[in-house]
């Protein structure tokens, strides 16, 4: 058997290419770390070294077009904020702006490598929708560069790099088992977030407490056990909640997407989501499940409803037994009396204040004017619109009226692509239904925040990308069946 493998020229060629790629990559990383050590200060040296070590495996996986690239990128998005906090704690200095903040974006950018080699094979329908997004981003960049400096490029990267998952998905030759593995990897990272979040809720590690004491974010509670709004590995409760909420939907909906822990994993992620106290994540979760159920076949609807009922029943018994349950119950009660909730009323006042600006500045403020990117043009502090609680207004205020319309038209074209040919292929497959529910849920949840940037954008376009992959597989299988049937017909006619 060894002799046969050794004589196979394709295996030998692939192995030699892989070996050479790893050696070249290792040399580049060594040079980067060596140069940083020789020329930069201690703080920058450590950040450069960690950045290089995170990017190197992603670069190699992208170069080899490995199926493990996306799971690795998910892990980087999850652990980087915690690595940054731990480094700050070790140094005893809080950095409001850090190179590690952009590590997930830079690492994720490597998906461009497999895209470039196959970009000429991209379907015209997908090219068209990407053009609409790109026009909006180009316009937002031109406006932003005149006003917002480096924040423009950071904001552009937060929109564009996650969006690269669309052409990556469209040009990848994944099989259905590979799609299941991607969703299991997603579930496993969500379980990891939930488990650490539960530990954080009960113990509050010192590096997390150190960060809370310096970050000046009053909405995350106090750095004491049972008084913290859990953010787990991530940089605030919002992303942690949205990550677990996005992952919880497929975990509830399909057994094969739950990972090795099965229902135990579902319960852990449910508890982790609860202690983040992020209500918008629950809204998104229920919307995703409702849409998925609505577009499913009749028999499957009853199965899904039974599974959802089981989760709700488990929550009913688990929540009162959790430490600090009184605060959790009080937070959940506001979902049934939303008009009395302080946070809701603040969001409503904010919307009434900012909405008139859309008509006062129809050209938009450009990329870098809203969100974390404002730190780069404001000496490390959030700018006027650093915290923005309405995604609809954020998109139109960033891209202007025309740019905003183009952006939403691009979203509509993605939906149109996913539902196209559903009659010819025998209806929507589970992956496409999941993609549709995530995309439509993201549009509804714009009333809370903009879900198309950074980690939230990466997760959304990952799920949508999985739907695109499955849609392409179904279309190709249909064409093969048609070609085979046509071939038989021609043979018979002869």
Ranges under pLDDT 70 in the chain: 1-45, 97, 297-302, 315-316, 318-355, 357-359, 371-388, 421-427, 477-494
Look up residue 279 and give its two tokens: 């209500």
Say what the pLDDT of residue 312 is.
73
Say what the pLDDT of residue 419 is.
87
Mean confidence (pLDDT) of the chain:
79
Domain boundaries, the chain: 13-117, 123-160+191-456+463-493
Say what the pLDDT of residue 6 is.
44
Contacting residues for 124 by C-beta, under 8 A, at least 6 apart: none
The CA distances from residue 317 to 196, 351, 441, 483, in Å, are: 22, 37, 28, 55
Instruction: Summarize pLDDT for 462-490 with one digit per residue, the tens.
Output: 999 999 998 888 777 666 666 666 665 45
Look up residue 442 and give its two tokens: 């993201």
Q: How far apart are the first and last CA of the chain?
A: 45
The Cα–Cα gap between 378 and 209 comes to 25
Say what the pLDDT of residue 129 is.
92
- Going by C-alpha positions, the residue among 442, 342, 426, 428 that lies closest to residue 392 is 442
Q: Are 128 and 413 in contact (CB under 8 A)?
A: yes
Find where tokens 């106090």 sit.
222
The Cα–Cα gap between 493 and 490 comes to 5
């Amino acid at each position: 058997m060894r002799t046969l493998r050794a004589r196979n020229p394709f295996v030998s060629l692939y192995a030699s290419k892989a070996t050479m790629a790893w050696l070249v990559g290792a040399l580049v990383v060594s040079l980067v770390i060596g140069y940083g050590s020789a020329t930069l200060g201690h703080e920058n040296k450590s950040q450069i070294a960690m950045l290089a070590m995170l990017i190197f495996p992603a670069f190699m996986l992208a170069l080899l077009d490995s199926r493990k690239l996306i799971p690795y990128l998910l892990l980087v998005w999850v652990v980087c904020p915690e690595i940054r906090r731990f480094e700050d704690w070790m140094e005893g200095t809080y950095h409001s702006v850090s190179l590690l903040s952009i590590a997930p974006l830079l690492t994720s950018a490597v998906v461009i490598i497999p895209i470039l080699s196959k970009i000429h094979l991209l379907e015209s329908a997908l090219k068209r929708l990407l053009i609409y997004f790109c026009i909006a981003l180009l316009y937002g960049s031109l406006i932003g560069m005149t006003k917002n400096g480096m924040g423009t490029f950071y904001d552009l990267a937060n929109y564009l790099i996650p969006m690269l998952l669309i052409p990556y998905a469209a040009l990848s030759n994944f099989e259905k088992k590979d799609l299941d593995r991607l969703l299991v990897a997603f579930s496993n990272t969500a379980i990891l977030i939930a488990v650490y979040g539960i530990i954080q809720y009960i113990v509050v590690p010192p590096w997390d407490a150190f960060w809370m004491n310096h970050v000046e974010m009053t909405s995350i509670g106090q750095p004491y056990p049972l008084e913290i709004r859990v953010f787990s590995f991530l940089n605030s409760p919002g992303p942690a909640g949205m990550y677990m909420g996005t992952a919880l939907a497929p975990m509830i909906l399909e057994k094969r997407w739950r990972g090795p822990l099965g229902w135990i994993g579902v319960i852990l992620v449910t508890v982790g989501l609860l202690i983040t106290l992020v209500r918008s994540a629950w809204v998104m979760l229920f919307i995703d499940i409702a849409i998925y159920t609505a577009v499913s076949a009749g028999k499957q609807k009853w199965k899904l409803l039974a599974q959802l009922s089981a989760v709700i029943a488990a929550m009913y018994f688990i929540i009162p037994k959790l430490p600090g349950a009184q605060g959790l119950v009080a937070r959940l009660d506001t979902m049934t009396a939303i008009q009395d909730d302080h946070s809701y009323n603040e969001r409503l006042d904010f919307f009434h204040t900012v909405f008139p600006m859309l008509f006062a500045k129809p050209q938009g403020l450009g990329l870098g004017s809203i969100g974390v990117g404002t730190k780069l043009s404001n000496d490390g502090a959030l700018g006027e619109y650093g915290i923005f609680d309405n995604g609809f207004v954020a998109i139109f205020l960033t891209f202007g009226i025309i740019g905003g319309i183009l952006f939403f038209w691009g979203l509509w074209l993605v939906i149109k692509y996913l539902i196209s040919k559903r009659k010819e292929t025998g209806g929507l497959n589970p992956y496409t239904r999941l993609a549709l529910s995530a995309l439509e849920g993201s549009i509804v949840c714009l009333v809370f925040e903009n879900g198309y940037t950074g980690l939230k954008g990466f997760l959304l376009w990952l799920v949508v990308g999985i739907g695109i992959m499955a849609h392409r597989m179904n279309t190709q299988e249909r064409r093969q069946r048609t070609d085979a049937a046509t071939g038989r017909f021609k043979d018979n006619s002869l």
